Structure 1
Amino acid sequence: MTTMKEIAEQTGVSISTVSLVLNGRDEGRVNPTLASLVRNKATELGYKINPLARSLRTNKTRILGFISEEVATTPYAGGIILGAQDAASAYGYMLFTVSTDGKASEENEIATLKRYGVDGFFYSKMSNRIAQVPKSLDDYPVVMVDATDHDNKIPSVEPDEFMIAYDATNRLIKAGCERIAYVGCSESMIAQDGRLAGYQAALHDAGRVFDPSLVCNVLNNGPALRAVSKLFDDTHPDGFFCFNDARAWYVYECAARRGLTVGKDISVVGVDNHRVFAETLEPQLTTVELPHYEMGYWSACKLISMIEGKDVDTSVWPDTRAPLPPLNAPIPAKIHCALLEKGSVVVH
């Protein structure tokens, strides 16, 4: 096992200088050229930091705790957790993940993570919403994922709901659709408010008049299918922006019952890039992909920067489908989602 002493001997510097560099405390203390030499030699020799020794020395465990409410049971959890884990690993941290189902469970899991000496916490919900971070986390760095606190004081990251709808509606406008419907969600939530506003703004910017009769807010199952069916018969849309891919299925079903072909007679854009619908619907659904991996990655970088009291090196960030916002973005940080072209929009 390579030691700091060996690196010091081969680079001609003191052990204390090697320690400063390899523990990330060299800024303003060690010449950058010399620090680069030390890092390169450590990589060449295969030097590995002993996390236990470092935690005893710095009183930091380099462990991050991920508290989620039902996130781990949703189809998107993998993306969020994978993003957070990749970022944590890139900066020398470990990730512990727990899922809760209520206040008592949440407090128990937080207490357990504290016993492991976690340095900071993620606090995540299963869909974008206003949430309150437990007071038991008041003394820790916290980043909210797919959630925002009431006062926008706690760093957080979420999809740019307004731009999701704006981009999707613009895609339908560019496809030549004249009567664009919005199949939304009848529950009150951040995503619904943002997407309805984005839909209206895109119409306005294109010189269109917003028609409330083209908005159909639904939940699911039979009532949703019947409401979308009525939308077809009453307003005859030729384009549909759907709150999510699941609601796009009702449009496909209603079109088939009327002998209409999606991608030829009508155009449809969804949101999620949900794997089940992406692999089932024919033609494949053009959709806006929610940035789960990106939210996880950004939130880990933000949390680590808070723990270390300095920005992480963003030059090593991966190429992601949706661009990552800067770490100093206003709260909440919003990620501009990618629209994925498939086969459900008419091509002229």
Structure 2
Amino acid sequence: MTTMKEIAEKTGVSVSTVSLVLNKRDAGRVKPDIARRVRQTATDLGYKPNPLARSLRTSKTRILGFISEEVATTPYAGGIILGAQDAASTYGYMLITVSTDGRASEESEIAALKRYGVDGFFYSKMSNRIATVPKSLSDYPVVLVDATDANNALPSVEPDEFRIAFDATSRLIEAGCERIAYIGCSENMIAQDGRLAGYRAALEGTDQGFDESLVCNVLNNGPALRAVNALFDTRNPDGFFCFNDARAWYVYECAARRGLTVGRDISVVGVDNHRVFAETLEPQLTTVELPHYEMGYWAACKLISMIEDKPVDTAKWPRTTSPMPPLDAPIPAKIHCALIEKGSVAR
């Protein structure tokens, strides 16, 4: 491992000068041409800073703690955690992820992360919902991911639920659908409220208008299938916006029982771009992709900016499917999700 002493000997300067340059404290203290030579020599020799020494010097470990409830056991976790990990790595941080299954487990994991000396925390829930952050995190920087602080005081990031529904319903309107149903969720959730509002707003701007009888809020399994089946019989919709891809399956099933072809006789749009449904349904489902990677990446950048008390360099941000909002966006920060065209909307 290359040391500062070796760099000093190579460039003919003191170790203290090398330290000033490599720790970015050389402005006004080291001549620019010398600083450039030190940096180039460090690069040529493959110098890597010692994170332990830096943490002792700055009282910062550059470790971020990710606390999730159920998230780490879902198909969506990979995107959120990968986004947070990529951002952390870009800005010189490490990520430790823990999954909890209740308040006692949560407090135990928080205590463990504190023993590691983490500088800040992510707090994430399974699907977008209101969350109460534990008091044990009150002395740390915290950013919520796919959740909203119950007190609306902490920064958070979530999908733009209203725009998800507005864009999906508008796509069905553009396809010429005249009776567009919403297969929603009967559980009380932020996502359900936002998507129902977006669906309604899109229709209220058309001649067909909003029709409450075309809204079918369900949970799952047999009761959900029977409710969607009854909607086919009573209202004969020709377009369906579904709360998620799983609920779109009920529409496909009911259409098949009637000899209807999805993508020709009826049009369907889901939400999630869930891999299982994307690879199973035929024709493939047009869907709105939730910004899991983007939420994780944005949250990490926000958390790091809070820890360092300065903005991160957003020029390093990757190109993503959905554009990320600025770090100073209003709470909660909302990400406009991408509509992924496949084969389930009639041409």
Give the TM interval when normalised to the shorter protein.
over 0.9
User: After superposition, what is the alpha-carbon deviation per residue over 1:25-69, rounded to whole angstroms, capped at 9, x for unaligned?
Assistant: 668988999877755553343211111111111111111101111
User: After superposition, what is the alpha-carbon deviation per residue over 1:295-340, rounded to whole angstroms, capped at 9, x for unaligned?
Assistant: 1111111111111111111101111101111111111111111110
Which residue is equivalent to 2:148?
148
Which residue is equivalent to 1:257?
257
Which residue is equivalent to 1:112?
112
Structure 1 pair 55–178 and aligned structure 2 pair: CA distance change class (3 A): same
| Separation (CA, whole Å) in 1 of partners of 2:50 and 2:151 | 40
Which residue is equivalent to 1:303?
303
User: After superposition, what is the alpha-carbon deviation per residue over 1:206-226, rounded to whole angstroms, capped at 9, x for unaligned?
Assistant: 444100011000000010001
C-alpha displacement of 1:152: 1.7
Q: How high is the TM-score relative to the length of structure 1? A: 0.94
| Separation (CA, whole Å) in 2 of partners of 1:28 and 1:111 | 43
Q: CA RMSD in A?
A: 2.1
SS at match of 1:80: helix
| Separation (CA, whole Å) in 2 of partners of 1:20 and 1:329 | 35
Query: Structure 1 unaligned runs (5+)?
Result: none
Amino acid across the alignment from 2:64? L
| Separation (CA, whole Å) in 2 of partners of 1:346 and 1:36 | 61
The question of 1:338 aligning with 2:338 is answered yes
Structure 1 pair 176–114 and aligned structure 2 pair: CA distance change class (3 A): same
C-alpha displacement of 1:23: 3.6
Superposition pairs of residues 7-156 of structure 1, within 5 angstroms: 7=7, 15-16=15-16, 18-23=18-23, 39=39, 41-156=41-156
Structure 1 pair 65–231 and aligned structure 2 pair: CA distance change class (3 A): same
The question of 1:326 aligning with 2:326 is answered yes
| Separation (CA, whole Å) in 2 of partners of 1:146 and 1:161 | 11
| Separation (CA, whole Å) in 1 of partners of 2:261 and 2:229 | 15
| Separation (CA, whole Å) in 1 of partners of 2:24 and 2:31 | 13
Q: How high is the TM-score relative to the length of structure 2? A: 0.94
Amino acid across the alignment from 1:261? T
Which residue is equivalent to 1:191?
191
Amino acid across the alignment from 1:62? R
Number of residue equivalences: 347
| Separation (CA, whole Å) in 2 of partners of 1:13 and 1:336 | 52
| Separation (CA, whole Å) in 2 of partners of 1:287 and 1:271 | 5
SS at match of 2:87: helix
Which residue is equivalent to 2:285?
285
The question of 1:223 aligning with 2:189 is answered no
SS at match of 1:68: strand
SS at match of 2:157: strand
User: After superposition, what is the alpha-carbon deviation per residue over 1:119-166, rounded to whole angstroms, capped at 9, x for unaligned?
Assistant: 110000011111111000111110101111123210110010001001
